[in-house]
Amino acid sequence: MAIYEKLEAKPAPQGTKGIVHWVKENLFPSVLSSILTIISFYILYITIPPLLDWMIFDATWSGTKEEITKDGARWIFIFEKFNQFIYGFYPEELYWRPNLALVIFVAYIIAFKRVNVKLKAFIIISFPIITYTLVAGGFGLEHVETEKWGGLLLTIIVASVGIVASFPIGILFALGRQSNMPIIKTISVLYIEFIRGVPLITLLFMSSVILPLFFPEGMDFDKLLRALIGITLFQAAYIAEVIRGGLQAIPKGQYEAADAMGLSYWQSMGLIILPQALKISIPNLVGSFISLFKDTTLILIIGLFDILAMVTLTNSDTNWLGFETEGYVFVTMIYWVICFSMSKYAKSIEDKFNTDHK
Amino acid sequence: MKTHKKARQKEVAFYNNPENRAIIYQVLALAGIFIFTYFILNNMFENIEKRGINTGFDFLSSEAGFGILQSLVAYDESDSHGKVFLVGLLNTILVSVIGIIFATIIGLLVGIGRLSKNFMVSKLSMIYVETFRNIPILLQILFWYNVVLASLPSPRQSISFFDSIFFNNRGLYIPRPILESGFTAVIIAFIIAIASVIYLKKWATKRHDETGEDFPLFWVSIGILIAAPTLVFLLSGMPATLEIATLKGFNFKGGWTLIPELLALAFALSIYTATYIAEAVRAGIEAVPKGQKEAAAALGLKDSTILKKVVLPQALRVIIPPVINQYLNLVKNSSLATAIGYPELVTVFSGTSLNQVGQAIEIILMTMAVYLTLSIIISILMNYLNSRMQIKER
């Protein structure tokens, strides 16, 4: 009978764990890869330190224009013009009104998930009215013309109106494109393909130059409304395509089951198909909203003063000339933060829906 | 019971019959569109008459009377608005082609970089994509133009490379090759080289099919394509010279000049579109199931063969449609040039010409028609490619 002795477990072979191993495996596995790693570090070395110096360490954070001694960013320009970047020419004593609208918006978003359908409908209907009254005036509030709206305020207004107004139109065109009525289908296809085939800027030109010609004299559209019409028509076509993608992904059995239940077209769409189609389109819808948010910058070409236009405008102040770089960097950061967080949000929803085994 | 059911079926009103309804809806939709069109056209003609705006396309042959910063064809102020249209269109095509070439190169590299096993390379690629994709393209164009290119030195202090390429705030100056009569021989040599490479490929495939022997086709082809024209060029006594830009007075003369507007636009468009192309490339390669690569490796194929014969053919099918879509977006985004004054279609035609002539409807419709035509051509091309790339299933 053999006698077995218990052996102690050997330690793991050298170099299969720990930082050294990770570095070897991920940074220097082969000659080519090592060269790439070194190049990457070099790129970081020549970009990051000067950028940090410019933005933070060498930057001027306080004081007046005459006291600037450092080479870095002169953020005092942004502090000085901050209100213009955010509100444009909006009267200073009325800043509380857009601010209040923002607070209500946040409150509504928080409340939205926790209330029943009737309150949800109330929120959706009342919010635009309240916001419009607060920003533009009316019901006893002092009137503020749209020419005075500007900066980030205008950007957000254009983007939200574009999103909200284009959504129902987009759904209609998506359903129209999927319809089996040939004329409705043709109209939808022509509209969608026409809009998607031309640049937004030509549509904006059209709505700002040609649109007034289409209506009898005396019917005056203000500049902002014309831009909003152009942007809504544009966005509706893109939304329609996104939703069509969702509609096509719904199994045919769902359509057939809804028909078999004896539901009418609008019942089956509203209760069975659209809820599912919209749900799977959410990531792409958010993607489309990000594009729209970025595209709102184009309104500066037809003479509206969004936040990007404020860079040029604030630099035309004779006391503050030559601060474009700071202005552009500031606006870039605002856009980047908003777009990046929206895209991360879209990604998180996508991951939640994605139940693939990968 | 039966009669009761039948009776109820007869009760279905005419307007409740789905087929009749479909017809009614469509007739209503058509009628609505006709009435709306009639309404706006009516107003339009009335307004045009009241404001005394001309109609028709006669303006295309009238004198433009303004200069254009950059033109690929001979143009001067006495030329017509029709010529302005052509100049703008060519400039749009020029910046689009430059943008597409660079966006594709950067996008491919970054897209493959994101999938690299090298930690630094994949993270850097990710930072690149996330940074530039989330900044509006117009902001990027303005930044390149107003901040980066405007801060370059003046012509006298130009940055120069090899004393033949100069870079300053007036643009980028590159040498221009001047071809002499003997250069045709070089072009012929190049065409022959292409033909022989095609023949060589057929031969190599056939030999591989029959004997299984590999032929280093790629390197040999490159060798032929470079060596043949070069050899002819040298033998025929170098029938071409380079015209280098030289500083005369306050500016450079001679050579090719890339104006800063073109540079800013091309930079911004390529960098921005490349992020989307990179994402498409990454998604395409990731879409190839892991099992495909493993199966190919189990068959004993080389890494390069796996990539060429197994991964790429499947990935390309996923990559090509979104990439072509991005090309289309790039062409449409080139219209943002109007913000910095690069003289492409929208700037010179929908901008300057429109201001002079005032015929907004004709001009904007013509501009839209150009982009629509481009879109339709590209989508026909895409459908054709798609149908060719589809997996042939039985």
Q: pLDDT tens, A6-53?
A: 888 887 776 677 788 888 888 888 888 889 899 999 999 999 998 988
Q: Is the pLDDT of residue A218 over 70?
A: yes
pTM score, whole prediction: 0.86
Angle between helices A182-197 and A223-249 (to 10 degrees): 120
Q: Could you tell me the strand order of the sheet in which B256-258 lies?
A: B159-161, B165-168, B171-174, B256-258
Q: Whose CA is closest to A293, among A231, A204, A205, A241?
A: A231
Gyration radius of chain B's alpha carbons: 29
Instruction: Specify the pLDDT at position B360.
Output: 85
Which range (A8-22, A293-307, A327-341, B267-281) has the least confidence?
A8-22
Which range (A131-135, A194-198, B268-272) has the least confidence?
A131-135
Each residue's pLDDT tens digit, B328-340 = 999 999 999 999 9
Question: What's the Cα-to-Cα distance from A218 to each of A38, A214, A230, B384, rounded to whole Å?
Answer: 68, 12, 20, 50
Residue A20 φ then ψ, to 5°: -60, -45
Q: Is the pLDDT of residue B77 over 50?
A: yes
All residues of chain B having their beta carbon less than 8 Å from the beta carbon of residue A210 are: 360-361, 364
Task: Please name the helix (run of DSSP H) or strand (run of DSSP E) that holds residue B20, with its range, or none.
Answer: helix B18-51
Residues, chain A: 358
Quote the CA–CA distance of B26 and B23 in Å, as a whole number. 5
All residues of chain A having their beta carbon less than 8 Å from the beta carbon of residue B33 are: 187
Contacts for B241 with CB less than 8 Å, ≥ 6 apart: B177, B178, B180
Domain ranges of chain A: 75-90+144-350
Q: Is the pLDDT of residue B6 over 70?
A: no
Instruction: Specify the pLDDT at position A26.
Output: 81
Quote the CA–CA distance of A342 and B101 in Å, as a whole number. 30
Which amino acid does the sequence have at A203?
L
Residue A306 φ then ψ, to 5°: -80, -175
Of B118, B119, B335, the CB nearest to A199: B335
Each residue's pLDDT tens digit, B133-165 = 999 999 999 999 988 888 888 777 778 777 778
Q: Is the pLDDT of residue B241 over 80?
A: no
Do B142 and A311 lie within an 8 Å CB cutoff?
yes
Instruction: Specify the pLDDT at position B8.
Output: 53
Do A210 and B360 lie within an 8 Å CB cutoff?
yes
Which range (A317-321, B46-50, B80-84, B252-256) has the least confidence?
B252-256
Other C-beta atoms closer than 10 Å to the C-beta of B394 total 2
Confidence at A336, pLDDT banded by 50, 70, 90 = very high
Which range (A78-92, B25-39, B259-273) has the least confidence?
A78-92
Gyration radius of chain A's alpha carbons: 28
Mutate to test the interface with B, among A198, A267, A330 (most CBs of B within 10 A): A198
Confidence at B390, pLDDT banded by 50, 70, 90 = low
Instruction: Specify the pLDDT at position B163.
Output: 76
Each residue's pLDDT tens digit, B204-215 = 888 888 887 777
Q: Which residues pair with B160 in a beta bridge?
A: B166
Instruction: Specify the pLDDT at position A203.
Output: 93
Shortest distance, CA A286 to any CA of chain B (angstroms): 13
Q: Average pLDDT of B112-125?
A: 90
Sign for the pseudo-dihedral over CA of A28, A30, A36, A38: positive
Q: Is the pLDDT of residue B2 over 60?
A: no
Q: Which segments within B121-161 are labelled E, that is strand?
A: 159-161
The two tokens of residue A347 are: 């990604």
Instruction: Specify the pLDDT at position B5.
Output: 52
All residues of chain B having their beta carbon less than 8 Å from the beta carbon of residue A36 are: 116, 118, 120-121
B107 touches B256 (CB < 8 A) = no
The pLDDT > 70 percentage for chain B reads 95
User: What is the chain A residue with the closest CA to B338?
Assistant: A301
Instruction: Specify the pLDDT at position B1.
Output: 46
Sign for the pseudo-dihedral over CA of B222, B225, B228, B232: negative
Q: Whose CA is closest to B285, among B256, B259, B269, B306?
A: B306
All residues of chain A having their beta carbon less than 8 Å from the beta carbon of residue B46 are: 216
Of A198, A212, A297, the CB nearest to B139: A297
Q: Which residue has the higher pLDDT, A143 or B8?
A: A143
Instruction: Specify the pLDDT at position A356.
Output: 62
Each residue's pLDDT tens digit, A95-153 = 888 888 888 888 888 887 778 888 888 888 888 888 888 888 877 778 888 888 888 99
All residues of chain A having their beta carbon less than 8 Å from the beta carbon of residue B47 are: 212-213, 217
The pLDDT > 70 percentage for chain A reads 98
Quote the CA–CA distance of A115 and A122 in Å, as a whole number. 10
Mean pLDDT of chain B: 85
Confidence at A357, pLDDT banded by 50, 70, 90 = low
Shortest distance, CA A339 to any CA of chain B (angstroms): 5
Q: Which residue has the higher pLDDT, B290 or B249?
A: B290
Do B336 and A201 lie within an 8 Å CB cutoff?
yes
Of B30, B135, B374, the CB nearest to A335: B135
Do A199 and B46 lie within an 8 Å CB cutoff?
no
Contacts for A284 with CB less than 8 Å, ≥ 6 apart: A242, A245, A246, A346
Distance between start and end Cα atoms, chain B:
51
* Torsion on CA atoms B183, B187, B189, B195, rounded to nearest 10: -170
Confidence at B4, pLDDT banded by 50, 70, 90 = low
Shortest distance, CA A40 to any CA of chain B (angstroms): 6
Instruction: Specify the pLDDT at position B128.
Output: 94
Confidence at B9, pLDDT banded by 50, 70, 90 = low
Distance between start and end Cα atoms, chain A:
51
For A75-90+144-350, the fitting CATH number among 3.30.1330.40, 3.40.50.2300, 1.10.3720.10, 3.30.390.50 is: 1.10.3720.10
